[in-house]
Structure 1
Amino acid sequence: MSVLKKLVTLMRGSVREIGESVVDANATRIYEQEIVDAKHNVAQARGDLTGVMAKEMQSAREIERLRGEVARYEGLALEALNKQQEGLAEEVAGRVAELEKELDEQTRSHATYAVQVVRLKELIKGAEAKIREHERQIVMAKTTESVYRATRSIADSIDGTGSKLVSAKESLERIRQRHEDLADRMTAAEQLENEVGSKALEAKLAAAGIGEGADRRAAIMARIRSRQAGSTAGADVPPAAQGEPGSA
């Protein structure tokens, strides 16, 4: 039996924790709805206030009517006395007593309505001031939540292990690695071509003095030396001998 009670207690605790987590996750929304409910209650209070004010005005009119009736019947009683109608005057006085009793009741009701009007006005005024303050607070709370969300998003983008910036950095590293791999492959292909390809064979032939370009450098040097020798020979002939006619 104690185990069952503990299980029930555990379930109650779990439900409480779940409820608290839900409330915490939706605290701003709940707060905003509470403000809406408070504004609705104030609107109802305003309706009640108008009803009480209407009753106050009605009681004021009734008081004026009763006062007029009392004054009228007192005048009638006085007129009956003047005409020696004592019994009639007594009857009218009874009616005046009834009117004065009703007047007293209306006066008390009017005073009660007046107090209620003042009290309701103060309550509504205070409630509206608190609502305005809560509305300012909810705006601040929403702004703060937006800032926290933006800050958390930025932090996740910069520092998070699964962030977009980290993913972008990894993509850049993969691109660089691919480029380096491509460059290495091109360098290796060139080295292989130089070692075992046609370029390697041409290099071996040139080193052995075989092929079209083997003696090109020597031929060019021979041509240059020949031109040099020709120009030197022309410079050794005297000018007079060069210009003498018939000299062979």
Structure 2
Amino acid sequence: MSVIKKVVTLLRGSARELAENVVDANATRIYEQEIIDAKQSILEARSSLADVMAREMQSARAVTRLEGEMARYEGLALEALEKSQEALAEEVAGKVAAIELELEEQRKAQTSFAAQVSKLKELIKASEAKIREHEREIAIAKTTESVYKATQSISDNIGSSGSRLASARESLERIKQRHEHLADRMQAADQLDRELGEKALATKLAEAGIGQDADRQRKVMERIRARQAKPTGDA
């Protein structure tokens, strides 16, 4: 029995750990959704506030109307007394009493609505300020997460010996080495040609004054001098 309990406990712990990992992996997304839900709640609260404010305005109009009616009927009662209409004055006084009772109820309603309006406004303002704070926090969190990802990417691509950038750099080094080797081979071939090939032999013959090109400069100068010394009429 105890083994089964331990297995159940293990499964519960694994499920909790899995759930926490899922939440942590999607923390930013969950946070943003909670902010969206909070904004929706504020919109609903604003609608409720507008309804309460409308009721307050209705009560205020009712109070004004009842105050006017009460003043008018009190004037009528006074006028009835002045005309010795005692019974009529009593009847009008009853009307005034009924209006006064309704007026008290409307004043209480107006006061209650006004208090609700004030409280709802404060709650909405506080909630909106809190949401702005959460939006700043989520913006910072997302920026920080982006920086961490970029840093991790740089670390993976540059710092690791097996990274893509490291491999590309190694390939570039190999290409540079091949180019240097090719240039060295070309230079060596040119040097060998000068030392051992036809160029080497031509150079040696020219240096020894042998061959058709050995005394070319002297012959060219003699030809130019001969043309210079020839009389102009012989052209």
Scaled by the length of structure 2, the TM-score of the pair is: 0.69
1:84 corresponds to which letter in structure 2?
S
Q: Deviations over 1:152-208 (max 9, x none)?
A: 00000012354102333554677799x6xx99xx9xxxxxxxxxxxxxxxxxxxxxx
Paired residues for 1:11-26 under 5 Å: 11-26=11-26
Task: Tell me by how many angstroms 1:142 deviates.
Answer: 1.2
Matched, 1:47 2:47: yes
Aligned partners of 1:150 and 1:162: how far apart in 2? 18
Aligned residue in 2 for 1:34 = 34
Aligned residue in 1 for 2:216 = none
Q: Deviations over 1:130-169 (max 9, x none)?
A: 2222212211111111111110000000123541023335
How many residue pairs are counted as aligned between the two chains? 182
Task: Tell me by how many angstroms 1:9 deviates.
Answer: 2.0
Aligned partners of 2:14 and 2:73: how far apart in 1? 78
2:78 corresponds to which letter in structure 1?
L
Aligned partners of 1:6 and 1:59: how far apart in 2? 66
RMSD of aligned alpha carbons = 2.5
Moved more, 136-145 or 53-62: 136-145
Task: Tell me by how many angstroms 1:99 deviates.
Answer: 1.0
Aligned residue in 2 for 1:131 = 131
2:113 corresponds to which letter in structure 1?
Y
Aligned residue in 1 for 2:141 = 141
Paired residues for 1:179-198 under 5 Å: none
Where 1:84 maps in the other structure, the secondary structure is coil
Aligned partners of 2:109 and 2:172: how far apart in 1? 85
Aligned residue in 2 for 1:243 = none
Aligned partners of 1:65 and 1:162: how far apart in 2? 86
Aligned residue in 1 for 2:8 = 8
Aligned partners of 2:52 and 2:19: how far apart in 1? 42
Where 1:150 maps in the other structure, the secondary structure is helix
Aligned residue in 2 for 1:86 = 86
Aligned residue in 2 for 1:57 = 57
Moved more, 155-164 or 144-153: 155-164
Aligned residue in 1 for 2:165 = 165
Scaled by the length of structure 1, the TM-score of the pair is: 0.66
Task: Tell me by how many angstroms 1:106 deviates.
Answer: 0.8
Where 2:66 maps in the other structure, the secondary structure is helix
Aligned partners of 1:154 and 1:122: how far apart in 2? 48
Aligned partners of 2:41 and 2:109: how far apart in 1? 26
Aligned partners of 2:96 and 2:28: how far apart in 1? 64
Matched, 1:72 2:72: yes
Q: Rg larger in 1 or in 2?
A: 1
1:20 corresponds to which letter in structure 2?
E
Q: Deviations over 1:188-239 (max 9, x none)?
A: xxxxxxxxxxxxxxxxxxxxxxxxxxxxxxxxxxxxxxxxxxxxxxxxxxxx
Matched, 1:102 2:93: no
Aligned partners of 1:3 and 1:104: how far apart in 2? 73
Where 2:168 maps in the other structure, the secondary structure is helix
Structure 1 residue runs of 4+, over 3 Å off?
Answer: 169-177
Aligned partners of 1:31 and 1:102: how far apart in 2? 50
Aligned partners of 1:95 and 1:54: how far apart in 2? 28
